[in-house]
Amino acid sequence: MKHVTLTFDNGPEPDVTPGVLDILAKENVPATFFVLGHKIDDPDRRKLAERAHAEGHWIGNHTFHHDTPLGRVEGPNVPEDEIGRTQELIGDLSHPDKFFRPFGGGGALGPHLLSRPVADFLTAGAYTCVLWNVIARDWADADGWVETAMEIMAPQDQSLVVIHDLPTGAMAHLPRFIDLVREGGGEFQQEFHPDFLPLTRGRVTGDLDACVTDPAAA
């Protein structure tokens, strides 16, 4: 469990994100927030991303709608509508590496994450694609996700955790989670281990093809 990186997806949420930021500040844990375009399009919610950025967290792109995994949607405007538009809204809050996190529906990795046009868009735009290896299912198990995460993380040297700053009640357990990680000898780090980055600033640095729908097989 030694190295643990926290990412908060699908926000920002006015009733949740400020509390998460308070906890992270108190515990001195730097993290990344993968925000949704349709949420930061709202000035009040964008202010929450501004606060996160000002407090040293990184802001990444998690699509505009977060509707269907991008490997399962077609159409010439999908990359721009889902990723480009969100990146514009993130604007100067973006990390220079332009972090993009695809979504899999339930956290599954696989070729449904990206279509070929989306992968090409990310490559041309010098994005960095950030995957994960710990899905705590906090959205479905608000009170049990900490134990789920600890079990997955136990044998791993590097853990990249996906949790959500959503109004599920799950984030009430964030302080306990942080305590358990530290009691178990884990250390929080903001950096993403290269194993989780199939694309780094537009350069293929991992198995990007494993994340791309094969049109021939569709």
* Known catalytic residue at 9: yes
| Alpha-carbon span 17 to 55, nearest angstrom | 13
Q: Which amino acid is at 13?
A: E
Tell me the closest approach of the beta carbon of residue 104 to Zn ion, in angstroms.
8
Structure tokens at 32: 């990344």
The CA R_g of the chain, rounded to the nearest whole Å, is 16
Site for Zn ion contains 87 (CB under 5 A) = no
Q: Using the rule CB under 5 A, is 9 a contact of Zn ion?
A: yes
Cβ(77)–Cβ(50) under 8 Å?
A: no
158 belongs to the binding site for Zn ion (CB under 5 A): no
- Catalytic, out of 9, 57, 138, 165: 9
Active-site option among 57, 164, 165, 173: 164
Nearer to Zn ion, 9 or 138 (CB): 9
Rounded Cα distance, 50 and 59, in Å: 9
| Residue 1 or 163 with smaller CB distance to Zn ion | 163
Where do runs of H (alpha helix) occur along the chain? 17-27, 37-40, 43-54, 78, 85-90, 116-124, 145-153, 174-183
Q: Which of 7, 10, 86, 158 contacts Zn ion by CB under 5 A?
A: 10
CB of 184 to Zn ion, least distance (A): 26
Which lies closer to Zn ion via its Cβ, residue 100 or residue 177? 100
Rounded to whole angstroms, how far apart are CA atoms 120 and 210?
14
| Shortest separation between residue 62's beta carbon and Zn ion, angstroms | 6
State how far the Cα of 146 lies from the Cα of 8, in Å rounded to an integer.
14
The verdict on 145 binding Zn ion (CB under 5 A) reads no
- Number of chain positions touching Zn ion (CB under 5 A): 3
Give least dist CB 189 to Zn ion, A: 22
Residue type at 34 in one-letter notation: F
For the question of residue 193 being annotated catalytic, the response is: no
Under 8 Å between Cβ of 89 and 40: yes
170 neighbors 10 (Cβ within 8 angstroms): no
Region of 19-27, 38-46, 95-103, 120-128 interacting with Zn ion (CB under 5 A): 95-103
As measured in angstroms, the least distance from the Cβ of 205 to Zn ion is: 22
Q: Does 103 contact Zn ion by CB under 5 A?
A: yes
**Which residues of the shown chain bind Zn ion in the complex (CB under 5 A)?**
9-10, 103
Catalytic residue numbers read 9, 164
